[in-house]
Amino acid sequence: MVGLGRSRAVAFVAPALVLIGVFLVFPAFWTLYIGVTNYRLTGAAAKAPEVVGLDNYRGVLSDPAFYRSLWLTLIYVLVSAAVGQNVLGFGLAWALRGARRAIRRLIESLVLLAWVLPSSVVAFLWIAMLDRDAGTVNMLLGQSPGTAWLVQYPMTALVVFNIWRGTAFSMMLYSAALSSVPPSHLETARVVGSSTMQTLRDVVLPHIRRHALTNTLLITLWTFNDFTPFLLTAGGPDHRSEVAPVYIYNTAIVGGDMGYSGAVSLVVLLINLLLALVYLRAARAGRSS
C-alpha cells in the first residue's frame, strides 16, 4: 500500500461504488430477478407477474434456435472483434505513429466517424454500401443488379461491418498504450537492428499486454451485446444472421416477454465470463512462454 491509507482509498472508491451500486448493480440484479418470473411489459402477466423458477432458463436452453444464435455470435465476436478490430486497431495505431500529422488526423477522423455515428444512422450507410441494386460495392464491381450481399452473405457482411464499426476504440486504446512505451526502448531496438516483428514482440508487447487483454475483454463484451446487426439484416435471411441480441429481440422483446429476456441476459453473461477465462488463460500462457 503505497502512500494511500485504507480510509483514503475507501474515500476515493466510494463515489464510484455508490453510483455503480445504485444505478448499475441494483437494476442489474432486478433484471436478473425478472428472469425467474413470467413478467411482461403488457398483458395480464404485467399486472400480476409470477415467479416461475427456472422455466425461462429451461425454455432458453431447450431452444435449438438459441444454440444456433450462440454459434453465430461466437463467430461474429471472435472474427470481427477479438481478431479483426484488435489487429486492425493495433496495426493502424502502429503504422500511424510515425505518419505525418495531417495524414494521421485525417485517417483517425475517418476511423472515428465510423464509431461515433449512432447505430440507426450507420445502418443506412451500410445498406447503401451493400445494396443489391444501387450499392457502392456493386457499383465498384461494375454489376447491376449485383449481389445482395446482406442476403447472400449475411455473416461475412456483418463481420466486415463490425470491423469497420468498432476498430476506432482499439486504435485509440493502442495509440494511448503505445505512447507509454518509452521511446528510448524503441530507439535501442532500432540501434541494435532488430526487425519490426522482433521489436513488436520484445519491446512493445510487454508494455501493452495488459491493454491488449483489457481491450479484447471489452470489445468482446460489447460486440456480444451489439444490436446493430438487427438493423442491417433483421437476423435474416431465415435466421442465418440471428446473433444473440437479435435472438433476444425476436424471441423476447417482440412478444414483450421480459422474463425470458432477463434469463437470456444471464446466460449471455455467463458465456462472456467463460470467454474471459479463456482469454486470461491464453494471456497467462503467452506471458510464461
Partner 1 sequence: MKTSFWRGRTATALAALAMVAGTAGCLGKTDSADTDRNADAKSFTLTIAENSISGGKNAVGADWISKWIIPHFIAEEKAKGKTAHVTFQPSGAADEDYKAKVALDLKTGSGADIYGIDGIWLGEFADAGYIKPLSDEVGQKAVDSWDGWAQIPKAVQGNFAYNDKRYGVPEGTDGRVIFFNKKLFAQAGLPDDWQPKGWDDILAAGQALKAKVPGVTPIQLNAGTAMGEATTAQGILPLLAGDGRELYADGKWQGNTQAVRDVLGFYQKIYRGGLGDPVLQQDAKGRDKSFAEFAGGKIGMLFESDYFWRGVVDPTEGIAKMPDRDSTVGYALIPAVRPGAGIRNQDFVSMSGGSGWVVNPATKYPQQTWELLRFMNSQQATIASLNGTARITQRQDVNSQVLTSDPMLSFVAEKVLPITAFRPGFAVYPQVSQALQQATLDVVVGKSPADAAATYQHTIEPLVGGAAKVDSN
Partner 2 sequence: MSLAKAVVARILTYVGIALATGFFALPLLWLLSAPFDDSPSYGVHWPSHLTLHNFAALGHNPYAFGSLVNSVLLGAGTMLLVVVVAALAAYALSRVRIPGRDALLYGLLLLSSVITGTAAMVPIFLLIFQLGLIDSRFGVVLVLSGGLLPAAIFLLKDFIDTIPRSYEESARVFGATPLQILRHIVVPVARPGLATIAVWTVVQVWGSFLTPFILLRDPDKQPAAVLVRTFYTEGGSPNLALISTFSLLYSIPVVLMYLFAWSRYGFRFHGGIKS
Residues 114-153 that bind partner 2 (CB under 8 A): 114-122, 124-129, 131, 133-136, 139
Burial of residue 164, with CB atoms counted within 10 A of its CB: 0-12 exposed, 13-18 middle, 19 or more buried:
buried
Cell of 46: 404485467
At its nearest, how many Å lie between partner 1 and the CB of residue 127?
Answer: 6
As a three-state string, the secondary structure of 37-55 is ECCECCCHHHHCCCECCCH
At its nearest, how many Å lie between partner 2 and the CB of residue 93?
Answer: 11
At position 263, the amino acid (one-letter code) is A
As a three-state string, the secondary structure of 267-285 is HHHHHHHHHHHHHHHHHHH
Judged by CB under 8 A, the number of residues near partner 2 is: 107
Q: Does 250 bind partner 1 (CB under 8 A)?
A: yes
Q: Does 88 bind partner 2 (CB under 8 A)?
A: yes
Of 82, 150, 172, 173, the one binding partner 1 by CB under 8 A: 150
Q: Which x/- pattern, by CB under 8 A, does the window 93-132 give for partner 1?
A: ----------------------------------x---xx
Of 54, 87, 110, 141, the one binding partner 2 by CB under 8 A: 110
Of 148, 181, 205, 217, the one binding partner 1 by CB under 8 A: 148
Of 68, 207, 239, 240, the one binding partner 2 by CB under 8 A: 207
Asked, as a colleague might, if the bond just before 64 is cis with ω within 30 of 0, I would say no
Helix (H/G/I), strand (E/B), else coil: 265: helix
Binding residues for partner 2 restricted to 231-250, rule: CB under 8 A: 245, 248
How many DSSP H helices and E strands does the chain contain? 17, 0
User: Closer CB to partner 2, residue 1 or residue 44?
Assistant: 1
φ and ψ at residue 257, rounded to 5 degrees: -85, 85
User: Closer CB to partner 1, residue 133 or residue 187?
Assistant: 133
Q: Which x/- pattern, by CB under 8 A, does the window 30-49 give for partner 1?
A: x--x------xxxxxxxx--
**From the centroid of its chain, how far is CA 197?**
27
Instruction: Round to whole Å and give the CA distance between 181 and 204.
Output: 7
Instruction: Round to whole Å and give the CA distance between 171 and 5.
Output: 36
Residues of this chain that bind partner 1 (CB under 8 A): 21, 25-26, 29-30, 33, 40-47, 127, 131-133, 148, 150-151, 230-238, 250, 253-256
